[in-house]
Structure 1
Amino acid sequence: MLQFEQRANIKFMCKLGKSASETLSALQQVYGDTALKKSAVYDWFSRFKNWQETLEDDQRSGRPSTSRTEEMIGKVRQLIRCDRRMTIAELEQEVGISHGSIHAILYHDLKMRLVSAKFVPRQLTMDQMECRMMVADDLFDKSTQDPTFLKKIVTGDESLVFAYDLETKMQSSEWHTASSPQPKKSRLVRSKDKVMLTAFFDICGLVHHEFLSPGQTFTGNFYMQVLQRLRDAV
């Protein structure tokens, strides 16, 4: 490792009778930004000057040098499975190891990442999910039994249509040389004029569409009228 290589060089400079400042200057000249810090160089120079021979760190009492044991990894895994919102600080208090060790266990040993929840329009209940699965299975069975089934499907949706759409950054891009002036455009806001569009499609394309009249409210009764007009169009 690079740190042991530099420690060996510090030991060599010390035995040559060089000073700690000369040793630091030589390391910075050779290793640049990866050179040991001044405090580390002076500490190891002092150790070798006092006849220390080993390049290894001193043995530390108390907590072992590593806490990433199989037992500890399993304990952290179990805690996370029970509560996936536990923070590293909470895990640190629970298992009694350092913040860095828990971080290493989560990211390197358990291959976990902290993922934010994704916003969705609504959360489905178990009954709703089962109902959707039954409908999907039914549609799949019909599509395999009837080759013309997809031609009979009509789907629709609603969307707000604005008087004009803002130009995107990509749409306003132009080809220029390095010496050309940068193009400019004024800042625009989305149109305040808008109308609700309801459109229905089948396998061939648009089947029926209509705009919501000014002052009209999109209610269940109104949607029934839209479906009746769709039926007539089909």
Structure 2
Amino acid sequence: MLLLAYGDETISRTRVFEWFKRFKEGRTTVESDKREGRPSTSRNEEMVQKIRTAIRDNRRLTTMELSNEFQISFGSVQTILTTDLDMRRVAAKFVPKLFSDEQKENRKQIATDLLEYSESDEFFLKSIITGDET
């Protein structure tokens, strides 16, 4: 029946029996089981912190440069940047998807300073130059 429905895209008969057995035992997901293996030596908290510091110092570093600098694999650097640091590449810079606590606090301080300055100087907002495309 599967061959008729899906043709060449059909999974093997063995795999069907294996999944049937797993679901019959109460499994509710098709995700693979965790596999035992050698623990990662390059993706630890110390390495994540080193890469975070390097990126904050210079956002134009490439994944290969970070890999060579810290002597870890290219893939490990990519995983640290995208998964652990939640960053992505935008115009040759690594940019966090969300602001860090430090950046939020800095932004809040700047906004507070500008608000206080605008309240103390009535001409402050009039001195701001804005423009449009016309």
TM-score by length of 1: 0.27
Q: Which structure dedicates a bigger proportion of its chain to helix?
A: 2
Identify the structure with bigger relative contact order (alpha carbons < 8 Å, sequence gap 6+). Answer: 2
Q: Which structure dedicates a bigger proportion of its chain to strand?
A: 1
TM-score by length of 2: 0.44
